[in-house]
Chains A and B, each alone.
Chain A
């Protein structure tokens, strides 16, 4: 894949407020890229910088190797789906979608067929004559997509496009967006604060905190090997145990509170390991409660159930393990014949050193 968007040392100040700090980022042609982070982390600002709605205080934005410094938003090869969708309420659905074609020089018939094509692409064929203000949330979003995609931009920018939809609709639109992106082959840049949405949809994700990119990776690496505690805490759940690194090299030797001594490959310390105190991260679903007679394939430890949260398909246990200061959260699938334990129950848990992340 070729590089489409290059950000080099991008800074953005609002007065004294440092909204973007030295952002270096390369986005490839045709990928589904997500900017993920808590509110106020600068992800929307970064999107608006790419769209041209915000200037930069320093650094360069290149699209297709062309410096965008003096290119206004109406001349950039980008189109945006706004968080509010910004559907023009005084125009019909068809007029909304055709809005960007005003300067295209197409004749009326060509415009009409382009509009119809764009509408059917988002599943709204035949809606052209409807009044825009009478649409539902999901339909508005589709209109916004059709309106942006009709111009065949190189990049489609999506600013929290699913946040206004209810859960069912959101999950449905996630799949539709992926399908649409594969069909049109246009680079999508999605801004979201929803980690699950980012994991489901993206080829690569940049996690942002306080104007900086904390980690940029594909979803699996991001989830399995977060490079810092804040990334680990933002994406999914993670237990943290105190521990010590006693030897470094190709394998790292760890002494984990309550769990004992184990060796892990160096790759499990994404930022490298140094001798001494370390935080040991382990995801709830990589731990397991051992029911009667079950044996751990790697290691096990004795535990007492501290809290039980039943979710239907899953049960989340908080368990106490000797010498571990905080209770550990364990996610268990509720399978046939497997009981839900009570608070206070004595049990054993299984853990696997391959699932450990060293911070």
Chain B
């Protein structure tokens, strides 16, 4: 009984701030404070009018989609190599690839900024953010796809090879369909990470801010706070939906490849 009280208190502590988002997003007042003063969808309507916000969202979507694709392709190659072939220094290389997972983003951001601007003298833009996001998303992609490949019987690809297919078509006809749920899962998670990533985007953004950077800019104007709440509500809903889909696909992948579930993100 006591334990249950603690658990509930802990959950409230965790999720209360997030629950506040939709409450104030529908609250008919510009000041974020209780008591609530009435229901409105005005702030959501205002979202649809804001051109600068639309541009930021578009930027973010482009970056997130590119990041998801590139990070997953890289993750696929790494996980395939890690699971099915042996080469000298495999362990070391795998560890090295996973490093960005524990690297502070601020360090990555500053380092990239220095290299891109000072050393290489390049101008910033969406592609610089994409590069950085691929760097931080690839470890996640590898972690997910390692699971997919780990559950895969290595004889599968050999069987296809044995039945007359070339290496590439064995991979395409057998391995790829079997790890496809993992690929989709990896793309969704990379997409989500990239979409709400702030620190790197803030440092590396050019003249067109991404959505999180734009929201940060809005914070200077108290009047736009409810709009941010509305936007936040949409983002939270989107993130939860995407992560749920990703998890469904990951589990399906493990099942399909005939393995038992050994964890995951949800």
Contact = CB atoms under 8 A, between A and B. Distances in A.
B153 interface: yes
A73 B158 contact: yes
Given A89-B178, A90-B178, A79 B155 contact: no
A82 B158 CA distance: 9
Interface in A130-153: 133, 147-148, 151
Contact of B158 (A53, A78, A89, A99): A53
A83 B155 CA distance: 9
In the complex, which range does the number of interface residues on chain A fall in?
A: 20 to 34
B164 A151 contact: yes
Given A86-B158, A88-B159, A89-B256, A74 B166 contact: yes
Nearest to B157: A86
A108 B173 CA distance: 19
Nearest to A88: B174
A86 B155 contact: yes
A207 interface: no
B21 interface: no
A102 B174 contact: no
Interface in B91-125: none
Interface string A38-82: 000000000000010100000000000000000011110011101
Given A86-B153, A86-B155, A89-B256, A100 B164 contact: yes
Contacts of B177: 90
Interface string B159-200: 111111110001001100110000000000000000000000
A82 B155 contact: yes
Nearest to B178: A90
B215 to A, nearest CB: 42
B156 interface: yes
Nearest to B257: A89
A79 B256 CA distance: 25
Given A82-B159, A86-B159, A103 B153 contact: no
A75 B165 CA distance: 9
A102 to B, nearest CB: 7
A79 B178 contact: no
18 contacts: A53-B161, A53-B162, A73-B162, A74-B161, A74-B162, A74-B166, A78-B162, A82-B158, A83-B155, A86-B153, A88-B156, A88-B160, A89-B257, A90-B256, A99-B173, A103-B165, A147-B159, A148-B162
Interface of B: 153, 155-156, 158-166, 170, 173-174, 177-178, 256-258
Shortest beta-carbon contacts, A-B, top 4: A100-B163, A86-B159, A86-B155, A82-B155
Given A88-B159, A99-B173, A100-B164, 4 more contacts: A53-B161, A82-B159, A83-B155, A151-B163
